[in-house]
Amino acid sequence: MPITVVSALPAHISPEEHRIASASTPASFADIPPVLRHKQSDVSVTLDPPLDGFSTENGTRGDLYVIESALFFMSASGTGIQVDYPTITLHAISRAENGPSIYCQLDEPTSAEEAEEDEDTSSMRELVIIPKDPSALEPIFESLSLCASLHPDPNEGDEMDDDDDAFVDPGLFETFDGDGDQELSEVGKVRSDFVNDSRFNPY
């Protein structure tokens, strides 16, 4: 599952620990735990539609972990979510008047049976990350962009332009979707109700 409910973080190490482990010539580099690129405390998240097993209360306050293997949010209650990077088709910094946040579109594969049962079912889920400290937006975004670049969509590998991984909309959003050939109009995918909905600024 590209988005799952978890109760614990995987083993991970700091960039410095990774440098030391790599320099020691381990028997297998695959045995080295993934690197934690950024941790942010006092973060809230929202998911739309909601995820079974992860309540609104779970997303009220917790810690965000941007690990090279996946993105994690762990709530104070001990219940968290894991988001695989290929699932994140777009992420953007929102500086709308209703509060700064990071908006993500998550594309979840729909099985053939589900598609046959309901042709109108959307496989897209929205994740909004709201740090209590607005200055944390840039480091979260940068680390998220770095980790996402390590997990390119295998279906779009031939179309990627390594010289242009990011693009900026001079309006509300700074976006990255791993595909340099996308036009700026990609930002149009962001729903207008997100920009105007006060639900995304609980502070």
Q: Which CATH number fits domain 3-195: 2.30.29.30, 2.60.40.1180, 3.30.70.2860, 3.40.50.880?
A: 2.30.29.30
Neighbour tally for 48: CB within 10 Å? 16
- What one-character-per-residue DSSP string does 99-122 give? --EEEEEEE----HHHHHH-TT--
Q: How far is CA 146 from CA 43, 88, 94, 143, in A?
A: 20, 13, 19, 5
Is residue 111 within 8 A of residue 123, CB to CB? The reply is: no
Instruction: Report pLDDT for 165.
Output: 44
pLDDT 10s digits, 147-202: 999 998 766 644 444 444 444 444 555 555 555 444 333 333 344 444 444 444 44
Predicted confidence (pLDDT) per residue in 39-80, tens digit? 999 999 999 999 999 999 999 999 999 999 999 999 999 999
Helix (H) or strand (E) holding 161: none
Find out whether 148 and 91 touch, Cβ atoms under 8 Å: yes
Q: Residue ranges per domain, the chain?
A: 3-195
Written as one letter, the residue type at 49 is P
Q: Which two tokens stand for residue 36?
A: 């934690």
Q: What's the pLDDT score for residue 180?
A: 43
Asked if pLDDT for residue 13 goes beyond 80, the answer is yes
What element of type H or E holds 117? helix 112-117
